[in-house]
Chains A and B, each alone.
Chain A
Amino acid sequence: MAKPKVAFYWCASCGGCEEAVVDLAEDILTVTDAVDIVLWPVALDFKKKDVEAMQDNEIAVSFINGAIRTSEQEEMVNLLRKKSGLVVAFGSCAHIGGIPGLANFSNREEIFDYVYTKTPSTMNPAKTTPQTNTVVDGYELEIPEFYNTVKTLDQTIDVDYYLPGCAPPLDLIMNAVMAILKGELPEKGAVLAPDKSLCDTCPRNDSKPEKLMMSEIKRPHTVEMDPEKCFLAEGVICLGPATRSGCGERCINANMPCRGCFGPVKGVSDFGAKSLSAIASIMGIEGEEKMTDEDIQKLVDQIADPAGLFYMYSLPSSLLRRKVMK
Chain B
Amino acid sequence: MPNRIKSVVSGPGLLFASLGLVALFAPFLTLAANRIVAGEGVRVWDVAGPEAIIPGMVGVVIGLALGLPSAWQSVRFTGSLVGIAALVWLLMQGSTSLLEGAGTYARVSLGSGFWCLLAILLLLAADALSSLSPGPKMRSALLAVAIIVSALVLWSGALTDLSIFREYANRQDAFFNAAWRHLGLAFGSLVVAAAIGFPLGVYCHRNQGLRGAVLPVLSFLQTIPSLAMFGIMIPLLAWVGSTIPGARELGVVGIGFLPAFLALVIYSLLPVVANTVAGLEATPILTLDAARGMGMTRHQRLKQIQLPLGLPVMLAGLRIVLVQNIGLAVIAGLIGGGGFGTFVFQGLNQTATDLILLGALPTVILALISAITMDILVELARPNQMRHG
Report whether chain A binds chain B: no
B residues with a Cβ closer than 8 A to A are none
